[in-house]
Chains A and B, each alone.
Chain A
Amino acid sequence: MAAQDLQRREIVRALGIALIASHCPGFAKWAYARAHPEATVAPVSQFVPQFFAPAEYSLVERLTDLVIPRDDTPGALEAGVAEFVDFMVAHDREQQYAFRTGLTWLNAHAHRAHGKPFLELNEAQQVALLEPLAYRAQYRQGEEEGQEFFRRIRELTVMGFYTSEIGFRELDNPALQLYGKSPACPHPDDPEHRHLPAPKW
């Protein structure tokens, strides 16, 4: 999805939503987490990736976890985002090659730096490898393929997380609820909003 198209579509998405009446194949962990709101992570054995090989999938899952970690609120693991990534890539021939080679590139990159595959590095090492792929100011020549791969997996992670129930809760998303009257700004005496309470987050 071209960035502009994606953004355009997402803006329009934000204008309203109607959803397909369908089951959501492959979303075992998500379904599990939904049925058990207190549960954190469902057993991995419940989910069989449609596109990624098991080793690839573990790496995808770890990357989604690094992009949106659990901290004081649940993150991508709890929201089953890796399943969404697998599902989308399985349905997107245009992305498949880039994902497969991107995962290979990342492991080779980890090997070059530390002599180990990515998943065997500690968190600080993993983050240190990803940062030059994530921030334009830290981009390094010769790592374009890694930057492109990280852009793709980060995009799908963000899409998957903020469209999950956990993602809605994360933002306290007020959309798609019913209101008895036209919601009004709660600060009528402060039109410029210069005197709001301290930020909640």
Chain B
Amino acid sequence: MFQLNSEGLINLEVNGEVRRVLVRPADTLLFALRERMGLTGAKPGCENGDCGACTVLVDGWPVKSCLMLAVEAVGHKVTTIEGLDNAPIQKAFVEKFAFQCGYCTPGFIMNCQGLLDLHPDASDEVMHEWLQSNICRCTSYQEITEAVRSVLQQAK
């Protein structure tokens, strides 16, 4: 049985690398990524699961890292925006001007990446259902929709 009784070291596999990280059992994955691993791409926007700015992939599925304990991620594969390498969705965001201030962008892109990996044939309806988990306050969403559609079309 895995357990952590107080602040201690855990192994987290993030972006293909196993890192030893000091956390309290009550620390969120978001905290561990940002404050213990320097991976600040995931952003605190509400720390309440409402905005999606902290979205990362856990075993390929988008998860709001503010609503996951760091200890819960032990034994799972975490991918953050820093783990993407020139992914088509990143290029599409650039080309379609799918961000302005950029704060929600890593979370949006990770959710998009999860969608593209798991449902490469997603309809607009499915895309909306997934991406409604994220809030962007600058763009109109039209740009983001176009970016995701352009990558979905490439996949098809």
Q: Do A and B come from one complex?
A: no
B residues bordering A, Cβ < 8 Å? none
Give chain A's interface residues, CB within 8 Å of chain B: none
